[in-house]
Amino acid sequence: MERPKNSIVIAYGKNRDHYAVRARIGCRSDGNRRLPINGPTIGHIVDGRYIPLEEASTSSVSRSAVDLKDWANIQLSQKLFADMIDELSVVYRRQDAIRLWCIAVLRVCFSGIKDYELKDAYEESFLSELYPRVALSRNTVSAFLNDLGRSCSRITQFMRNRAARVGMDHHVLIDGTLKSNESRVNSLSDFSRKARTKGTRDISVLYAFDLEAMEPVCSKCFPGNMLDVTAYSEFISENHITKGIVVADKGFPQSAARKHFADNPDLHYLNPLKRDSKIASEFHMLEFTGLLSGFERIPYRKEKAPDGRWLYSFRDAGRAAKEERDWLTRSEQKNTYRFADLQKARTVFGTVFLECDMDIEPETIYKIYSTRWEIELVMRFYKSALEFDETRVHDDYSVIGSEFCDFLASVLTFKMIQAFDKAKLLDEMPYKKIMKVLARAKMFNDPGHGWRLIRINPSYEEILKRLDIHPTEKLQPKKKRGRPPKNRYV
């Protein structure tokens, strides 16, 4: 068939019944042979006739480009998250970094999106205008996630680079969550401690969150049946968390990573102890010695253990009342109420015991630990807002690669939360409502004029202006009406 010179026909598609025409752009040496180099696609063979790309775009509606695209959510992602491409390019080539970035952005802007839907979402959003020709077909994404997992050392290096930027005075919150994973072909899926209530196999995902930067630092996935205390040491050592103050939960005792803390003098810990721990009774931590200044009804006690640790205990009267109500409710439901049991439980209601390797004022310790709920917010957004409550891939490598994309998506999510909070939008509507508003702001490719924002509700336009992404020029403040200038020549 007639076609341009220096071109070659490539069969593609499931049945290899589609034909692309690619240009030959040169040759390369392979020993004593000279092999041609194929360039970009310049057209297709359709119905026995060569059709160049320019003609193909106008000959069929089904082959036409999308002229109405999601814009505001993509534009905000570009504004807040574009520097992540450079961060990824340190360990990945630029083309792979952009593909990773695009997958993460699409998972945030279209929560719950499946991998096979990425290509359509990419073409129907302004992402395809900002970063054209990103390969996101179903098979391409599947192979890409698998390759990401195979080269997991690069993921580890990326996480270490982020952990190295944590400040010495920053608080690193560490917690984990379980994700459903019913695959029978990977080693990460197993029955966890919640298997009896969930009835599914899980994988365990650990996250470190920088409280000052208000964004996730690093993450790693473990088998679902692995105890937190077992994963804790490997998590902080593999990711080279060597600076800051680690604020963890009861499942992550410092004793599990004692050597790592000893080898890194700039790394400190603040961990809760079990209420029935032996050391708490040994130092009479329920016999409070003072009241916190700046807090209501919070008595405390501070002691130093022989091994150098500092022990702190607090009691919140409001929290104690709530715990007692919950205890009574459970006793009523199970018909197990006994006054002696209530008296014994009352001694620890509303209390918290903490250990720290630094001598810090009790007010500061209580304030630091009170902020630990931020990591719970991370896990909540991870599962609900982003809909990452289950894995949708099977083998080990694909799970690792997909979880890495989920981590990048969670970083972008918290950058968006900070932007919404700065614009005072979260005081007026929840996160998902704001994302729906952004999804309604689309760009239209107006013939002869280029891309322009479609007409939307004025209140929605105001949101775009508050986020500083409205495409029109910023409105100048109106000048006060004054006296007209005098004519000096009259």
DSSP states of 96-165: HHHHHHHHHHHHHHTTT--GGGHHHHHHTBTHHHHS-S----HHHHHHHHHHHHHTHHHHHHHHHHHHTT
Query: Is a pLDDT exceeding 90 seen at residue 484?
Result: no
Query: Is a pLDDT exceeding 70 seen at residue 360?
Result: yes
Tell which residue, 102, 109, 108, has the closest CA to residue 137.
Answer: 102
Would you say 217 and 166 are in contact if contact means Cβ atoms under 8 Å apart? yes
CA distance 107 to 387: 9
* Sequence-distant (≥ 6) Cβ neighbours of residue 477 within 8 angstroms: none
Write the CA distances from 39 to 54, 55, 131, 140, 270, integer angstroms: 17, 19, 19, 19, 58
Instruction: Give pLDDT, residue 327.
Output: 93
CA distance 203 to 183: 10
Q: List the single range of 121-125, 227-231, 279-283, 452-456 with lowest mean pLDDT.
A: 227-231
CA distance 171 to 166: 9
Of how many residues is the chain composed?
490
Query: Is a pLDDT exceeding 60 seen at residue 478?
Result: no
CA distance 160 to 163: 5
CA distance 390 to 374: 22
DSSP for residue 483: P
Which segments within 237-298 are labelled E, that is strand? 244-247, 267-273, 290-291
Instruction: Give pLDDT, residue 479.
Output: 47
Instruction: Give pLDDT, residue 224.
Output: 65
Instruction: Kindly state the average pLDDT of the residues 438-453.
Output: 90
User: Which single residue is written with the structure tokens 């199970």?
Assistant: 334
Tell which residue, 348, 273, 350, has the closest CA to residue 310.
Answer: 273
38 or 100, greater pLDDT = 100
What is the residue-averaged pLDDT of the chain? Answer: 84
Structure pTM? 0.75
* Sequence-distant (≥ 6) Cβ neighbours of residue 344 within 8 angstroms: none
The secondary element (H helix, E strand) that includes residue 181 is none
SS3 category, 280 = helix
CA distance 165 to 162: 5
Domain residue ranges in the chain: 7-59, 67-238+393-490, 250-371
Q: What is the pLDDT of residues 400-432, one digit of tens each?
A: 899 899 899 989 998 999 999 999 998 999 888
